[in-house]
Amino acid sequence: MKGSHVVSRLALACAVVLVSGLGGLAGLPAGLAQAPQPEDEVGTAFTYQGRLTDGGGPADGTYDFQFELYDAFDGDNLLGTVTPGDVPVSGGLFTVKLDFGSNLFSGDERWLQIGVRPGASSGAYTPLTPRQELTPAPYALALPGLWTQQNDFSPNLIGGHSGNWVAAGVTGATIGGGGDIDWPNRVTDHFGTVGGGQNNQAGDGDADPAGPRDATVGGGMNNTAGGWRATVGGGGNNVVSGQDATIAGGNNNAASDWGAVVGGGGGNVAGGSAATVAGGHSNSASSGSSTVGGGKNNTASGESATVGGGFGNTASGDTATVGGGDSNAAGGWRATVAGGWQNIASGTGATVGGWQNTASGGRATVGGGWGNMASGDTATVGGGNENTASGSNATVPGGYDNIAQGAYSFAAGRTAKAYNDGCFVWGDSTDAADVSCSNNDRWVARASGGVYFYTNSILSSGVYVPAGGNAWSSVSDRNLKENVASVDGQEVLARLAQVPITSWSYKSQDAATRHMGPMAQDFYAAFGVGEDDTLISTVDADGVALAAIQGLYAENQALKAENADQEQQLDELTARVAVLEKGRAPAHTGGLPLGWLALGGVTVAAGLVVQRRRDGGGR
């Protein structure tokens, strides 16, 4: 027994049972600060609890004890001896019941000299030093299994099995009940409380009773509240070592830092200050103010990180959040995974939902879908499948196999590829070649069923390009028009003749790119059509051109009629000449044949027709 010693946990705990029922305070052994009662009303046994170390560690097994009662710390006046044998010792703790008889307690000092030997030995007892003083402990209530230990500060109240104990020097302790010979409840530090259950401990269990005080175990089994003001409500195998930490219940849970809380469940750990695991199984909240709501195998390791539930989720970024789902990870600062499966939000402030999606860009978002990636800063993929928004501020709203690679680019539909900055690309459902944009700030679309643009709410006005077409068609239905007025084509032609037609370049285009046409101000002044004098509608330009053509047509028709009349006259003259050529000229013609005179007249008439054609057109 080299190196063995006993540390007394209870100096004297007199468990006395009334024979005649409740009748006030039961009598006490002589020498205590109470008036003795008739011996037939009380017992004289008391419980002694201690801790035995053997070879530097807690003893385990059976031991024989020898308790000798003296009247002085170092005197030789032996008053009595009790030798309990084969006492079970577990984890160093043991409990024995001693009875020296009531006549030995006269109010004077009493000291215990303790000796010990292995239970299988028949040799001498090894004396343990120093002697243990038996201090006064008056009875509180004459009830089986409930007694008090008095001290100079605050008494201890012990209930339940006689094996329950309060460590030496502890004050203000309470054990409400429970415990048994193999699984006693205990309080090892000041003002600790064990409400009941089995093998529960309030305090950290070291030799200093001034350690973590005010700890509480409500009940359950194998629970330890070892932190200052720590609390275990119940359950089994729960350990609270953090100050002001709490485990409400469950099994195999741990709250190891200041203010940490485990609500219940099994195998959960709240290891950060003010961290919380509400329940579930095998969850961990390891950083300050981190939270796991429930589920299984979830970890909130970032500061103020949160995992709402689900399975195998990790919130490792500070203030990161995983709402639930399976195998999701929010590793970026302030990143969020709403749920789903195998999603990753690794960018700062990134957000992900859906299935196997990744938001790695700062403040990037993948709303849902499958296999999508938003790797550009503030890039967005709304959903769909296998889409990528890799440019800064790029957007893919959904669809399949779309890429928004350029900054501020947009790709939607199917196989739309916006490779350059500012590209806008739409791909229809056609399973064909990619629809690509490789120039900055270009708008590209494939719409094999046609393109429609409506300009009013009832879809009655607008333009469209029909499927397979290559030009805009404008709405021109008679039933959609009003305030119809006739147009004088020749007047329009005359006005158009006054509108300057020039060649020019737009300031927004390269100077080498030339155009031809009127200025909108001149066009508006001439015809007064359109929305204002800075625009020329293609409808109005076409209308003016058509009206002018009609005016030209009317003039041409008039000239044709005039020419036809003149040709008829010419034909008549020609016929007359032919007749005259057969005869001779009269004598007064100077001898010229009459036919020659007629031919001269026809020639003059023909000249006039040709001149009119030159001046006015003709056919």
pLDDT in tens, 597-611: 555 555 555 555 555
**CA 427 vs CA 155, 243, 379, 392, 568: distances in Å:** 84, 61, 20, 21, 67
pLDDT in tens, 389-417: 999 999 999 999 999 999 999 999 999 99
The span from the CA of 422 to the CA of 443, in Å, is 9
Q: What is the pLDDT of residue 9?
A: 33
Question: Residue 125 has what DSSP assignment?
Answer: P
Q: What is the pLDDT of residue 249?
A: 98
Q: Which residues contact 289 (CB under 8 A, 6 or more apart)?
A: 272, 273, 274, 275, 303, 304
Q: What integer is the mean pLDDT of 278-295?
A: 98
* Cα dihedral 280/313/318/366 (nearest 10): -130
Q: What integer is the mean pLDDT of 426-443?
A: 96
Amino acid identity, position 533: D
Alpha helices in 502-593 (DSSP H): 520-527, 538-580
**CA 122 vs CA 95, 116, 372: distances in Å:** 21, 11, 80
Residue among 497, 496, 503 nearest 540 (CA): 496
Whether 110 has a pLDDT exceeding 80, the answer reads yes
Confidence class of residue 586 from pLDDT cuts 50, 70 and 90? low
The span from the CA of 186 to the CA of 202, in Å, is 7
* Cα dihedral 347/349/352/358 (nearest 10): -10
Whether 44 has a pLDDT exceeding 90, the answer reads no
Q: What is the pLDDT of residue 28?
A: 26
570 HSE (CA, 13 A, CB side): 15
The span from the CA of 162 to the CA of 143, in Å, is 12
Amino acid identity, position 297: N
SS (H, E, C) 21-69: CCCCCCCCCCCCCCCCCCHHHCCCCEEEEEEEEECCEECCEEEEEEEEE
Q: What integer is the mean pLDDT of 435-458?
A: 95
Whether 22 has a pLDDT exceeding 90, the answer reads no
Q: What is the pLDDT of residue 53?
A: 85
Per the omega criterion (within 30 degrees of 0), is the bond before 130 cis?
A: yes
Element (H, E) at 597: helix 594-616
The span from the CA of 255 to the CA of 262, in Å, is 6
Confidence class of residue 137 from pLDDT cuts 50, 70 and 90? low
The better pLDDT of the pair 499, 607 is held by 499
Whether 384 has a pLDDT exceeding 80, the answer reads yes
Q: What integer is the mean pLDDT of 268-279?
A: 98
Confidence class of residue 140 from pLDDT cuts 50, 70 and 90? very low
Instruction: Say what percent of the chain tops pLDDT 70.
Output: 85
List residues bridging with 344 in a β-sheet. 329, 358
Q: What is the pLDDT of residue 615?
A: 56
Q: What is the pLDDT of residue 204?
A: 95
Whether 17 has a pLDDT exceeding 50, the answer reads no
Calculate Rg over the CA atoms of the chain: 55
Q: What is the pLDDT of residue 576?
A: 85
Whether 203 has a pLDDT exceeding 50, the answer reads yes
The span from the CA of 365 to the CA of 378, in Å, is 7
The span from the CA of 499 to the CA of 517, in Å, is 10
Question: CB count, 10 Å around CB of 161?
Answer: 20
Q: What is the pLDDT of residue 145?
A: 78
Write down the pTM of the prediction.
0.69
171 HSE (CA, 13 A, CB side): 7
- Interhelix angle 520-527/489-498, rounded to 10 degrees, is 150
Q: What is the pLDDT of residue 97?
A: 87
Q: What is the pLDDT of residue 106?
A: 65
Confidence class of residue 248 from pLDDT cuts 50, 70 and 90? very high
Q: Torsions phi, psi of 456, nearest 5?
A: -145, 170
